[in-house]
């Protein structure tokens, strides 16, 4: 990621907090693309980051800024991935992390954060009820002021400097393709990731690295469609919801960057895609079984959205399409156990092999 350091806030070399994040593979689809009638489908495999999700890009820059500015304590909210990413960098660079997460966050994400030494608290109703979610942010603002801690939330509206790290996803896609894609599909919770990709592509357009602005498509589950729900009804305002989705990472009841994400979708010519949790699980299984990409459910949401767009005839067969695969299957054991529910592992005696 630090290859793009000229685009990041200036950090002196001794303060760069890195674990080798970014520079993740852009893999051409082998089976899923052709089955959808697409010849140029690519996956940006963010599962290859040090803690298994794209949030390491945010955490690396967050920790670097803290080291440079002599700060030592982080207070953060997370659905799980930001938390485990920050916890890893905190461990490596001697920082302290108090982490507030959704009550139903997958155990794997929480154990990862605990293993790195973070103090982890699950908060009832956070991410699900919009009132509770807003109150959590208010309380944490107070707490971080009182404790002189840095409040870290992976959203532009709260942490614009740290989110610059996430924009490097877009710069890498441009570099790896040698041009811009026609379409980019992005899973959306609070919208920060989507906004990062849009802004990164805009930077590339302004610098002449790409010749056209890719259509950016936000994808959300039906049960938490703060951006794509209003878009589907032709409305121009994002709407907070009571979250009914079970897809970890995409459960954000309040708006955060949702309004900005909605406006940038329209500016880029993209369309919002609303998909069911079941469709996300189905495409998670297909990414794993047909592409060998071990993803958590949220990491398959972009592909679920693409499949919906293909169904609606919104994509041409030859166009270049990139789907972000944002987090690893190791992050969500329950969803992987569902993928293998019909498989068993028999125990054999030696003689039973080739009997």
Ligand X SMILES: Cc1ncc(COP(=O)(O)O)c(C=O)c1O
**Contacting residues toward ligand X, per CB under 6 A:** 53, 79, 81, 154, 187-194, 249-250, 252, 296, 298-299, 326-327
The three-point CA angle 276-303-247 to 5° equals: 40
Q: Which is nearer to ligand X, 33 or 299 (CB)?
A: 299
Q: Of the two residues 191 and 270, which places its CB atom closer to ligand X in the complex?
A: 191
The vertex-75 CA angle with 300 and 243, nearest 5°, equals: 40
What is the H or E stretch that residue 204 is in? helix 192-206
Q: What angle do CA 294, 110, 167 make, to 5 degrees?
A: 60
Residue with Cβ nearer ligand X (129 or 326): 326
Rounded least distance, CB 169 to ligand X, Å: 11
Cβ atoms of 203 and 177 closer than 8 Å? no
- Min separation Cβ 79 and ligand X, Å: 5
Q: CA–CA separation, 168 vs 8, rounded Å?
A: 9
- Closer residue to ligand X in complex, CB, 40/326: 326
Instruction: Name the helix (H) or strand (E) containing 320.
Output: strand 320-325
Q: In the bound complex, what is the minimum distance in angstroms from residue 186's beta carbon to ligand X?
A: 8
Give the whole-angstrom CA distance, residue 158 versus residue 165: 14
Least distance in angstroms from the C-beta of 236 to ligand X: 19
Q: For ligand X, which is the closer residue by CB, 150 or 195?
A: 195
Instruction: Please state the closest distance from residue 299 (CB atom) to ligand X, in A.
Output: 5
Q: How far apart, in whole angstroms, are the C-alpha atoms of residue 193 and residue 302?
A: 12
């Amino acid at each position: 990621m630090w290859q793009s350091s000229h685009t990041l806030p200036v950090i002196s070399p001794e303060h760069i907090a890195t674990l080798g994040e970014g520079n993740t593979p852009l893999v051409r689809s082998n089976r899923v693309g052709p089955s959808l009638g697409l010849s140029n489908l690519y996956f940006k495999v963010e599962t290859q980051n040090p803690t298994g999700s794209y949030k390491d890009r945010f955490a690396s820059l967050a920790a670097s800024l803290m080291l440079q500015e002599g700060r030592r304590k982080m207070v953060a909210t997370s659905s799980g991935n930001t938390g485990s990413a920050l916890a890893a960098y905190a461990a490596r660079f001697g920082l302290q992390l108090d982490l507030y997460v959704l009550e139903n966050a997958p155990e794997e994400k929480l154990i990862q954060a605990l293993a790195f030494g973070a103090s982890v608290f699950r908060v009832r109703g956070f991410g699900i009820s919009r009132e509770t979610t807003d109150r959590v942010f208010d309380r944490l603002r107070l707490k971080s002021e009182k404790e002189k801690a840095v409040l870290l939330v992976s959203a532009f509206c709260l942490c614009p400097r740290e989110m610059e790290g996430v924009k490097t996803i877009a710069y890498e896609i441009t570099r790896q393709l040698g041009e811009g894609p026609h379409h980019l599909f992005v899973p959306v919770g609070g919208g920060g990731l989507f906004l990062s990709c849009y802004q990164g592509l805009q930077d590339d357009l302004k610098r002449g690295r790409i010749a056209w602005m890719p259509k950016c498509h936000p994808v959300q589950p039906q049960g938490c469609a703060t951006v794509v729900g209003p878009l589907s009804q032709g409305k121009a305002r994002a709407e907070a919801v009571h979250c009914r989705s079970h897809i970890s990472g995409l459960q954000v009841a309040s708006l955060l960057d949702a309004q900005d994400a909605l406006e940038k979708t329209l500016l880029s010519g993209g369309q919002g895609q609303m998909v069911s949790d079941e469709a996300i699980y189905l495409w998670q299984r297909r990414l794993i079984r047909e592409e060998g990409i071990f993803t958590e459910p949220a990491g398959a949401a972009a592909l679920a959205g693409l499949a919906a767009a293909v169904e609606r005839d919104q994509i041409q067969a030859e166009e270049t399409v990139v789907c972000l695969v944002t987090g690893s299957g190791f992050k969500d054991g329950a969803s992987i156990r569902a993928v293998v529910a019909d498989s068993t592992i028999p125990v054999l005696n030696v003689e039973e092999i080739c009997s």
